[in-house]
Amino acid sequence: MNLNDPSLLREAALVGRRWITAQEGESIPVTNPATGAILGHVPDLGAAETREAISVAAEAQKDWAARTAKERSDILRAWFDLMIAHRDDLGAILTAEQGKPLAEAKGEITYGASFIEWFAEEARRVRGDVIPGHGRDKRIVVLKQPIGVVGAITPWNFPNAMITRKAGPALAAGCAMVLKPAAQTPFSAIALAVLAERAGLPPGLFSVVTGSAAEIGGELTANPQVRKITFTGSTGVGAKLMAQSAPTIKKLGLELGGNAPFIVFDDADIDAAVEGAMIAKYRNNGQTCVCANRIYVQRSIYDAFAEKFRNAAARLKTGDGADDGVDVGPLIDEKAVSKVEEHIADAIAKGGHVTLGGQRHALGRTFFEVTVVTQASSDMALATEETFGPLAALFPFDAEEDVIRMANASEYGLASYFYARDHSRVWRVAEALEFGMVGVNTGLISTPEAPFGGIKSSGLGREGSHYGIEEFTEIKYVCLAVQPH
C-alpha cells in the first residue's frame, strides 16, 4: 500500500490519552480480503483498557461540554478538512482492509467526511425552549445538554462512514466517545483518530479500542459512566447489546439489518429503474444494509426489465479493488460466501432460474460471480434473510396491493425503493411501505442531510440530519419560581 502519509497506517489503539502499540502485547492480524496479505496488527485489548478509556473520556468530556459550540464546531471542521486532504490515503487503507473498489472507497471517505462537516454546522444549532409557565410566578426553561460518555460499536462494511456518522453528532453535542471498530477493518478507525488529534480534538475525547468484541462490548454496556450505546451491525448483536445495556438504562442508537424491497411498477421508466436497481443491489458488492435484497417487477414488464438488468449486471467487473476498472471486490470472508451460496441453492430448489453467475469466481478466495436469479418467490430464504452479497433476486408480481403486502412481510424495516410515475401511486405506495426510508425513482438515498434509520428489527433512532444530534443530547426541564415585584 503506497501512502502519501504512511503515519496514517498506525498499528496501535488509542486508549484515553495513550497509544498502545501492537508490539506491546497480544495482537490481532488485519488481512486484505482480496489477496490474503497481512496488512499489519492491532492490539488485542479488553475490559481493563475499555474501563480506562471510559474513565478518561468522562473527565475530558466535562471541559469539552463547557466549550462554546463554535469552539467544538471549529475543531470538527478542521477534522473534516484533514479527512478531505488525506482522502486518497484513507481510501487506500479502506480498500486494503475492506476490499471495495478504490473509487468506492474514496467515495466513502467523502461521504464519511460529510457527516463531520454537517455536524460541525449543527453543533451551533442545538437549542432549548422557553415555555409559557403554568402560573404567574412560574417560568419554564428547557435545556439541551450532552448525554456524556458514548460507547460506539461499528461494522466492517463502511469502516469510515459508520464511525463518522456517530462521532460527528456525538462530539458536536459535547459528548465523548469510546469506539470499538470491527476486527476486520480497524485501520480506517485508527487513521480517523490520528487525524482527530491533528485537528486539535482534546486528548481522551475519542478512543479507539481494538480487541475482544465481547470484553470491550461487555464493559461499554455495563459501565454506568457510559450513558449511551450507539451500535451499527447485525440485528442479533444489536439485540444482545440492548439487553446488556438494560441494567444501567442506557440511551440506545441501533442501526441494524435490512432486507430492502425494490419495486418496479408498470408505469416506471424501465431504463432508470435498471440503473437504480444496479446501484441499490451491487454497491459495495451487495454488502450494505440498504441493498435491494428483493427486486419486485410488475408482470407486464418483467421480461423486459429482467433482460436489461441481466445485461447491465454482466458488464460489472469483479477483481481486486485496488486495480483500475474493478466494479466489484471480494466478499469480506468465507462465511459471507457460504451465505450467498446457501441463498442461491435454496432459490434454485424453490423454482428460481440463475440467468447470470451463480458460482464462486475463478479468482478464488472470497470473490463471487455477480449473480441474477429470476422467478424468485416469497418462500425462498432470500425473501426473509439478508443476503449481503452480489445476488439479485427478481420477483414477478401482479397487483399493487400484492406487492405492498409482500414488501412489508419482513421483520426488517430499514430501506425500501420503488419506481413509478403516477403521482397518486407514488403517494399511496410511499405511505404504505413499512420502512424507515423510501427511495422513489432513485436507488441511492444516503446523505447527511437526511435521517437514516429503520423500524422493527432494523433498529432504533436516526443518524444524520438535524434529528441526528438530538440523539446525543438530554432534555432538562428547569422550573423557576419568580416572585412578583
Ligand X SMILES: NC(=O)c1ccc[n+]([C@@H]2O[C@H](COP(=O)([O-])OP(=O)(O)OC[C@H]3O[C@@H](n4cnc5c(N)ncnc54)[C@H](O)[C@@H]3O)[C@@H](O)[C@H]2O)c1
The least CB distance from residue 418 to ligand X, in Å, is: 20
Q: Which does 286 bind (CB under 5 to 8 A by kind): ligand LB4VBGO6, ligand X, none?
A: none
Q: Give residues 414-433 in contact with ligand X (rule: CB under 6 A).
A: 414
Q: Interface with ligand X includes 153 (CB under 6 A)?
A: yes
Give the footprint of ligand LB4VBGO6 on this chain (CB under 6 A). Answer: 157-158, 288-290, 446
Candidates 5-13, 133-141, 230-238, 469-477; binding stretch for ligand X (CB under 6 A)? 230-238
Binding part of the chain for ligand X, among 6-14, 93-101, 112-120, 256-264 by CB under 6 A, reads 256-264
Residue 65 lies near ligand X (rule: CB under 6 A): no
User: Pick from 232, 298, 416, 457: which binds ligand X (CB under 6 A)?
Assistant: 232
Question: Minimum Å distance from CB 180 to ligand X?
Answer: 6
Nearer to ligand X, 174 or 436 (CB): 436
Residue closer to ligand X (CB basis): 186 or 357 = 186
Catalytic residue among 117, 122, 255, 369: 255
Enter the C-alpha cell of residue 249. Answer: 438504562
Tally of CB atoms within 10 A around 424? 8
Q: Which does 214 bind (CB under 5 to 8 A by kind): ligand X, ligand LB4VBGO6, none?
A: ligand X
Closest CB to ligand LB4VBGO6 among residues 283, 310: 283
* From candidates 256, 306, 337, 404, binder to ligand X by CB under 6 A: 256
CB of residue 221 to ligand X, shortest distance in Å: 8
369 in catalytic set: no
How many CB atoms lie under 10 A from the CB of residue 479?
12
155 counts as binding ligand X under rule CB under 6 A:
yes
CB of 210 to ligand X, least distance (A): 10
Task: Tell me if 213 contacts ligand X by CB under 6 A.
Answer: yes
Closer of 145 and 384 to ligand X (Cβ): 384
Q: Which of 13, 237, 252, 382 binds ligand X (CB under 6 A)?
A: 237
Q: Which does 446 bind (CB under 5 to 8 A by kind): ligand X, ligand LB4VBGO6, none?
A: ligand LB4VBGO6
Question: Secondary structure of the chain in the HEC alphabet?
Answer: CCCCCHHHCCCEEEECCEEEEHHHCCEEEEECCCCCCEEEEEECECHHHHHHHHHHHHHHHHHHHHCCHHHHHHHHHHHHHHHHHCHHHHHHHHHHHHCCCHHHHHHHHHHHHHHHHHHHHHHHHCCCEEECCCCCCEEEEEEEEECCEEEEECCCCCCCHHHHHHHHHHHHHCCEEEEECCCCCHHHHHHHHHHHHHCCCCCCCEEECCECHHHHHHHHHHCCCEEEEEEECCHHHHHHHHHHHHHHCCEEEEECCCCEEEEECCCCCHHHHHHHHHHHHHHHHHCCCCCEEEEEEEHHHHHHHHHHHHHHHHCCCECCCCCCCCCECCCCCHHHHHHHHHHHHHHHHCCCEEEECCCECCCCCCCECCEEEECCCCCCHHHCCCCCCCEEEEEEECCHHHHHHHHHCCCEECEEEEECCCHHHHHHHHHHCCCCEEEECCCCCCCCCCCECCEECCEECCECHHHHHHCCEEEEEEEEECCCC
Provide the minimum distance between the beta carbon of 332 and ligand X in the complex, in angstroms, as a whole number. Answer: 7
Centre a 10 Å sphere on the Cβ of residue 104 and count the other Cβ atoms it contains. 22
The item of ligand X, ligand LB4VBGO6, none sharing an interface with residue 233, based on CB under 5 to 8 Å by kind, is ligand X
Size of interface with ligand X, in residues (CB under 6 A): 26
Q: Does 98 bind ligand X (CB under 6 A)?
A: no
Binding status of residue 190 toward ligand X by CB under 6 A: no
Positions annotated as catalytic residues are 255
List residues binding ligand X (CB under 6 A).
153-158, 162, 180, 182-183, 213-214, 217, 232-234, 237, 240, 255-258, 289, 386, 414, 459
